[in-house]
């Protein structure tokens, strides 16, 4: 999972206008890279060559790039300024593998790949869910900020709030990756067994 970035735009609105608060939204797109190989070893080697490269320089089977965009409006009275409305949009780009040229693969390899592919997608989608939850929290926290003596102070408080929420977001994303990595083998084994049972029922 790549570190999230944030863009902040703001506007000063007249006191008489009521800002409309809407729920945080996610704009999600998908990218796919091709993986080739007839065996698990060949597939693994190809993923290591073609998988998305993270900031660490290491290639992974999947990746999610996140960008937060916060639009904040302010209202002002003499000696008072406050957040009048805030909307946060998360732009997520999810990169996933697509297995091609797999006609020579045996049934066991296909079974394991299907389970692995499902797990990679579930993992990356949950990164998006974490981001959306924090976007909701950011909207709510911004609109609950107190009134300040100037819009300069209100804007400074807004930026500090954004920084704090995104730090919490990054920590939760990193914790999720640690837990998922530790449980990967057991999780994949369960997925393979479940997939095998489903296939047996269809026969």
| pLDDT, tens digit (0-9, with 9 covering 90-100), for 63-92 | 999 999 999 999 999 999 999 999 999 999
Task: Place 200 in a pLDDT band, splitting at 50, 70 and 90.
Answer: low
**What pLDDT, on the 0 to 100 scale, is given for residue 13?**
37
Its sign, for the CA torsion 14, 17, 22, 28, is negative
Q: What does the pLDDT look like over 146-185, one tens digit per residue?
A: 999 999 999 999 999 999 999 999 999 999 999 888 776 6
CB–CB of 101/163 below 8 Å? no
**What pLDDT, on the 0 to 100 scale, is given for residue 16?**
29
For 121, counting Cβ atoms within 10 Å of its Cβ (0-12 exposed, 13-18 middle, 19+ buried), the class is: middle
The two three-digit tokens of residue 59, written as one number = 């290639």
Pairing of strands 63-77, 80-99: antiparallel
Three-state SS at 32: strand
Q: Is the pLDDT at 101 greater than 70, yes or no? A: yes
**What pLDDT, on the 0 to 100 scale, is given for residue 75?**
93
Q: How crowded is residue 76: how many other Cβ atoms within 10 Å of its Cβ?
A: 18
Pairing of strands 25-35, 5-13: unpaired
Q: Is the pLDDT at 136 greater than 50, yes or no? A: yes
**What pLDDT, on the 0 to 100 scale, is given for residue 121?**
95
- CA 161 vs. chain centroid, Å, equals 20
What is the arithmetic mean of pLDDT over 29-39? Answer: 94
**What pLDDT, on the 0 to 100 scale, is given for residue 195?**
63
**What pLDDT, on the 0 to 100 scale, is given for residue 182?**
79
Task: Place 3 in a pLDDT band, splitting at 50, 70 and 90.
Answer: very low
Q: Is the pLDDT at 129 greater than 90, yes or no? A: yes
Radius of gyration of the chain (CA): 22
Q: Is the pLDDT at 11 greater than 70, yes or no? A: no
Instruction: Return d(Cα 74, Cα 151) in angstroms, integer.
Output: 8
The two three-digit tokens of residue 17, written as one number = 């206008």
């Amino acid at each position: 999972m790549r570190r999230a970035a944030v863009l902040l735009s703001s506007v000063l609105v007249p006191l008489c206008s009521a800002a409309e608060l809407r729920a945080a939204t996610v704009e999600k797109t998908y990218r796919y890279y091709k993986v080739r190989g007839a065996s698990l070893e060949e597939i693994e080697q190809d993923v290591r060559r073609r998988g998305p490269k993270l900031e660490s320089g290491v290639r992974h089977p999947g990746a999610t790039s996140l960008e937060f965009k916060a639009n904040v409006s302010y209202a002002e009275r003499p000696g008072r300024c406050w957040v009048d409305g805030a909307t946060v949009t998360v732009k997520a780009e999810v990169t996933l593998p697509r297995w091609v040229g797999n006609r020579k693969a045996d049934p066991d390899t296909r079974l394991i790949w299907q389970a692995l592919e499902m797990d990679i997608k579930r993992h990356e989608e949950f990164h998006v869910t974490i981001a959306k939850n924090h976007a909701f929290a950011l909207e709510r926290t911004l609109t609950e900020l107190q009134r300040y003596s100037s819009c300069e102070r209100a804007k400074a408080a807004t930026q500090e709030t954004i920084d704090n929420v995104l730090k919490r977001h990054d920590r939760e994303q990193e914790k999720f990756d640690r837990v998922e990595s530790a449980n990967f083998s057991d999780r994949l084994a369960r997925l393979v067994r479940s997939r095998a049972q489903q296939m047996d029922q269809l026969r």
